[in-house]
């Protein structure tokens, strides 16, 4: 199921069923950048019609790169923000600078759509950095798909968020959108580190997705569709599932709760398992349950929730038409990279277990400190006053060391000490 965290094209497509949008809800604090969109008044900003999200040009947030568009015959597969892109033939590191609030929590997401925009049919591979730290490698070579998504829940350590595309090899980095959403700090808490999205799904067999405005945080939920196991059946309700956001801070969207998977053989557990090649991954997961069938008075649905053999709940009864979110408050690794979530019917239960939605994240530690804030301000001032437009003068001035700004000297000690600029 490593592959289950991949996005299918439909994630960006016009095929979403859930369009019950009229006036846009509150998008306060959202940053939605359509990379490569011209900054002219008439084109930016615009409201994407199916989501209501207000997208703007990225031009004010980056000084480099060129703009392109995916092949015209592929455009109909994508919503407008995903058709254009910015690519970076020059410079080994190109960075976006976004204003955020230090100490607040954000969902930070980027989409990358290749679709042969350059007519060369060379699938790119490059790195994505958050400030001085590697976040992810964007590799279009494997598997054969033209869309990549990365997403994390992160608390910035300063008021600016630097997202950098870094060349590693000969291919040209590109980016289609940047999407930043503020999230309550009291949810998705970790012992340490940020959360990198591995999987966010709801158990529906159809090929679709849910996002804003159904999800107030614009989390993108993809249906389990082709991963839906033969030994499961899908149940569905047309009734509302209540989400009391005073009790359930995770606030999963109603649409992600109205369907569920349950085992066909009601005596067998419902098992969700995957194997990761990275055996050191530390996981956090969030399961969302709701009873969505009208039960007879003599019926009960009760099961235990078991993660990697550890019983998290012994006799769980999903609340009727109301969401309950269950998670483990500390991270765990999976032995040999094999992870399993099992829902096991109790002896007294007359009905098999069910699950409505599931999120899985891995912990990511950004251990390299950013360069001393005062030093950065001074060197930025020099850059502005002398109108220095060296391509290498982007991102953190000192780190990572191989990308240090040309003409600078830095004192870099250990990762937890902010580097100092010693010479200019």
Asked if 325 contacts 248 with a C-beta cutoff of 8 angstroms, the reply is yes
Compare residues 106 and 250 and give the one whose CB is closer to ligand NAG.
Answer: 250
Pick from 273, 367, 381, 401: which binds ligand NAG (CB under 6 A)? 273
Binding mask 154-173 for ligand NAG (x = CB under 6 A): --------------x-----
* Site membership for ligand NAG, residue 298 (CB under 6 A): yes
Nearer to ligand NAG, 177 or 201 (CB): 201
Q: Which of residues 92-121 bind ligand NAG (CB under 6 A)?
A: none
Q: Does 408 bind ligand NAG (CB under 6 A)?
A: no
Choose which of 347, 384, 402, 416 interacts with ligand NAG (CB under 6 A).
347
Residue (180 or 260) nearer to ligand NAG, CB: 260
Question: Does 15 help bind ligand NAG (rule: CB under 6 A)?
Answer: no
- 120 C-beta neighbours (distance < 10 Å), count: 10
Site for ligand NAG in 16-55 (CB under 6 A): 17
Q: φ and ψ at 203, to 5 degrees?
A: -90, 75
Q: Which of 267, 296, 385, 416 binds ligand NAG (CB under 6 A)?
A: 296
Distance in Å, CB of 107 to ligand NAG, minimum: 21
DSSP 237-297: -SSPPB--TTT-TT---GGGTSEEEEESSTTSPEEEEEE-S-TT--EEEEEEE-B-S---T
Instruction: Candidates 21, 134, 155, 187: give the one binding ligand NAG (CB under 6 A).
Output: 134
Q: Which residue among 159, 240, 275, 417 contacts ligand NAG (CB under 6 A)?
A: 275
Q: Shortest approach of ligand NAG to residue 196 CB, angstroms? A: 15
Q: Which is nearer to ligand NAG, 17 or 279 (CB)?
A: 17
Q: How far is the CB of 1 from ligand NAG (least distance, A)?
A: 5
Calpha distance 392→94 (Å, rounded): 8
| Beta carbon nearer to ligand NAG, 291 or 375 | 291
216-245: contacts with ligand NAG (CB under 6 A): 234, 236
Residue 3: CB minimum distance to ligand NAG, A? 10
281 binds ligand NAG (CB under 6 A): no
By CB under 6 A, residue 422 contacts ligand NAG? no
In the chain, what is the straight-line distance between the N-terminal and C-terminal CA atoms, in Å?
50
Question: Within 13 Å of residue 248, how many CA atoms lie on the same side as its CB?
Answer: 21
283 is an interface residue for ligand NAG by CB under 6 A: no
CB of 364 to ligand NAG, least distance (A): 14
Assess 1 for contact with ligand NAG (CB under 6 A): yes
Contacting range for ligand NAG; rule: CB under 6 A; set: 113-121, 188-196, 204-212, 374-382: 204-212
Contact status: 141 vs ligand NAG (CB under 6 A): no
Residue 137 touching ligand NAG (CB under 6 A): yes
Distance CA 390, CA 383 (A): 9
Rounded to whole angstroms, the Cα distance separating 7 from 240 reads: 27
Q: CA-to-CA distance for 17 and 360, rounded, in angstroms? A: 24
- 274 near ligand NAG, rule: CB under 6 A: yes
3-state class of 378 per DSSP? helix
Tokens (6 digits) for 22: 């009229």
Query: For residues 308 and 342, what is the distance between their CA atoms, to the nearest angstrom?
Result: 8
**28/389 with CB nearer ligand NAG:** 389
Retrieve residue 135's tokens: 């976040």
How many of the chain's residues bind ligand NAG (CB under 6 A)?
26
Question: Rounded distance, CA 262 to CA 317, Å?
Answer: 14
CB-CB contact of 420 with 375 (8 Å): yes
Name the residues that contact ligand NAG, by CB under 6 A: 1, 17, 66, 89-90, 127, 134, 137, 168, 204, 206, 208, 234, 236, 255, 259, 273-275, 296, 298, 338, 346-347, 350, 391
């Amino acid at each position: 199921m490593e592959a289950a965290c991949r996005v299918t094209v439909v994630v960006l497509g016009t095929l979403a069923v859930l369009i019950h949008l009229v006036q846009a809800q509150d998008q306060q604090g959202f940053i939605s950048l359509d990379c490569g969109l011209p900054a002219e008044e008439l084109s930016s900003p615009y409201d994407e019609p199916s989501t209501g999200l207000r997208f703007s040009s990225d031009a004010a947030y980056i000084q480099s790169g060129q703009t392109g568009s995916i092949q015209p015959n592929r455009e109909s597969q994508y919503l407008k923000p995903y058709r254009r892109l910015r690519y970076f033939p020059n410079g080994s590191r190109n960075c976006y600078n976004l204003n955020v609030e230090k100490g607040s929590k954000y969902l930070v997401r980027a989409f990358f759509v290749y679709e042969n925009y350059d007519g060369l049919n060379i699938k790119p591979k490059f790195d994505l950095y958050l400030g001085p730290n590697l976040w992810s490698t964007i590799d279009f070579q494997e598997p054969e798909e033209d869309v990549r998504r990365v997403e994390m829940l992160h608390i910035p350590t300063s008021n600016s968020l630097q997202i950098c595309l870094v060349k590693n090899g000969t291919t040209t980095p590109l980016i289609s959108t940047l999407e930043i959403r503020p999230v309550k700090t009291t949810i998705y808490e970790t012992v340490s580190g940020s959360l990198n999205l591995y999987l966010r799904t709801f158990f529906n067999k159809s090929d679709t997705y849910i996002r804003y405005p159904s999800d107030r945080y614009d989390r993108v939920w993809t249906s389990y569709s082709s991963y839906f196991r033969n030994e499961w059946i899908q149940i569905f309700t047309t009734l509302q599932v209540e989400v009391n956001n005073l009790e359930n801070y995770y606030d999963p969207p109603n649409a992600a709760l109205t369907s569920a998977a349950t085992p066909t053989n009601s005596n067998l557990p419902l098992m969700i398992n995957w194997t990761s090649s990275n055996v050191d991954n530390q996981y956090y997961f969030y399961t969302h349950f709701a009873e969505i069938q009208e039960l007879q008075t003599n019926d009960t649905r009760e099961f235990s929730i078991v993660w990697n053999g550890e019983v998290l709940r012994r006799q769980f009864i999903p609340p009727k038409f109301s969401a309950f979110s269950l998670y483990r408050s500390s991270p765990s690794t999976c032995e040999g990279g094999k992870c399993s979530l099992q829902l096991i019917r109790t002896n007294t239960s007359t009905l098999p277990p069910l699950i409505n939605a599931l999120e899985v994240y891995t912990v990511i530690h950004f251990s390299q400190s950013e360069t001393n804030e005062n030093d950065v301000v001074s060197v930025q001032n020099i850059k502005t006053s002398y109108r220095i437009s060296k391509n290498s003068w982007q991102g953190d001035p000192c780190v990572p060391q191989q990308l240090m700004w040309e003409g600078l000297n830095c004192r870099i000690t250990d990762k937890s000490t902010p580097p100092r600029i010693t010479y200019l």
